[in-house]
C-alpha cells in the first residue's frame, strides 16, 4: 500500500528557510520509494530575509508558505489544514527556517518556542506513534515535541548539542552519512548540512533516514 508522508517546509533557502538541497533530496527519495507526499508550511511571515549571495539581511518581508511553494512547485498547503490521521509519517528538512520560522531556536536556544501549528502536528504524530524524521537543525526541536529523554542527533556541533541536552533531550553524536534512531519514539534524525561538506554526504544520511522512516511505518 502506498505510504502517505507529510513534509514540513520552512521557506526557501538555507539562511532563512528550508535548506533547498536537503528538501529536494528528501522529496526525491520519497518519490523513488513510491510514497505519496504532501508538503505543508505555516502561513506566517519569515523572521527575516537573507541575501544568499552575500549573507546580508534584506529590508523586505516574505511569507513562509509562499516561499515554500518554490521548493514544492506550488504543491504545498497551509499547515493549519494538516491532519496526522491522513498520513503515515512526518519528515522535517533543515535549514535555518526550522530554527527561525518553525521555532525561535535561532534566537532563544534552549528557551525556544515552536510555532503552535507545527508543534500540534508533530505532537499528533508522536502521540499516534507514527514515525518522524528530523534533518539537520530540526532535531533541536525534538525535546519540545517528545519531552525529556528523547534521543536525537545534529551531528557533532557542541553548542547545539548542549542546547538539546538543556531542553531535556539526549544528544548522540553521529557521522554525516548515518542516522540516529530513538526506537521507543520512532524518531529518526541525521546531521545533513550540520556536518556535510558535499551534497553527496548530505544525501547519504537523508536517504537512510527516509528509508528507515518508511520501514517504521510498517512496524
Dihedral sign for Cα atoms in the order 173, 164, 144, 116? negative
Spell out the residues 6+ positions from residue 198 whose beta carbon is closer than 8 angstroms to its own.
none
| Residue among 7, 102, 151, 115 nearest 142 (CA) | 151
C-alpha cell at 75: 504543491
Q: What are the catalytic residues?
A: 136
Cβ atoms of residues 26 and 7 within 8 Å: yes
| Residue among 100, 90, 150, 93 nearest 120 (CA) | 90
151 strand-pairing partners: 170
Amino acid at each position: 500500500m502506498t505510504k502517505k508522508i507529510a513534509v514540513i517546509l520552512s521557506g526557501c533557502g538555507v539562511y532563512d528557510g528550508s535548506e533547498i538541497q536537503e528538501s529536494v533530496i528528501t522529496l526525491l527519495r520519497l518519490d523513488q520509494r513510491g510514497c505519496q507526499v504532501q508538503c505543508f508550511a505555516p502561513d506566517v511571515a519569515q523572521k527575516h530575509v537573507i541575501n544568499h549571495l552575500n549573507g546580508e539581511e534584506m529590508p523586505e518581508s516574505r511569507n513562509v508558505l509562499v516561499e515554500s511553494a518554490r521548493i514544492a512547485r506550488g504543491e504545498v498547503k497551509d499547515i493549519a489544514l494538516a491532519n496526522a490521521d491522513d498520513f503515515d509519517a512526518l519528515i522535517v528538512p533543515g535549514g535555518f527556517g526550522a530554527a527561525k520560522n518553525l521555532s525561535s531556536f535561532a534566537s532563544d536556544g534552549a528557551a525556544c518556542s515552536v510555532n503552535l501549528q507545527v508543534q500540534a502536528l508533530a505532537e499528533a504524530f508522536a502521540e499516534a506513534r507514527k514515525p518522524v524524521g528530523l534533518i539537520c537543525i530540526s532535531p533541536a526541536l525534538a525535546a519540545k515535541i517528545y519531552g525529556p529523554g528523547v534521543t536525537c542527533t545534529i551531528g557533532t556541533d557542541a553548542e547545539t548539542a548542549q542546547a538539546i541536552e538543556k531542553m531535556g533531550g539526549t544528544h548522540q553524536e553521529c557521522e554525516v552519512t548515518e542516522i540516529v534512531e530513538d526506537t521507543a519514539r520512532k524518531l529518526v534524525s541525521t546531521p545533513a548540512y550540520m556536518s556535510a561538506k558535499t551534497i553527496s554526504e548530505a544525501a547519504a544520511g537523508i536517504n537512510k533516514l527516509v528509508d528507515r522512516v518508511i520501514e517504521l511505518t510498517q512496524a
